[in-house]
Amino acid sequence: MTGMIIDGLSWILIVCGSVLVVTGAIGLLRLPDVYARMHGVSIIDTLGGGLLLIGFMLQAGFSLVTLKLLFLLAIMFLIWPAISHALAQAAMTEGVEPVLAEDRRKRLDQPEPGAPAAKTKKRP
């Protein structure tokens, strides 16, 4: 009975992790620029990969394989966000501009239409 519960729970985690990874892959294709792609994919793939590895650990039982998967899970949670940050920093260094629906810098410098003229601070 306990084996069936653990087996069912592990398959639920594996399926949920797989769905998240596929969703991240679709988001990678649909999002407009490198920054949005990194933001969406890094969060979803870290969670999806974590769910997959936890599901695999439950399938493996307590063995050396489980310890290896636990080590891989710890490395994944530490390294993947750092890799995403390094890629974003490299894109910024190369001058890659984010795609915005509107230029918010113009809106910050101008008062709203119909509003009384107020002294606003200029942003650098």
Average pLDDT over every residue of 22-49: 88
pLDDT at 49: 92
Segments in the chain forming alpha helices (H): 2-30, 34-60, 64-93, 104-109
pTM for the whole thing? 0.72
The whole-angstrom separation of Cα 62 and Cα 84 is 32
Judged against a pLDDT cut of 60, whether residue 25 lies above it is answered with yes
Average pLDDT over every residue of 68-91: 91
Higher pLDDT, 48 or 112: 48
Cβ burial, residue 35 (10 Å; 0-12/13-18/19+) = middle
Of the listed ranges 7-16, 55-64, 75-84, 98-107, the one predicted with least confidence: 98-107
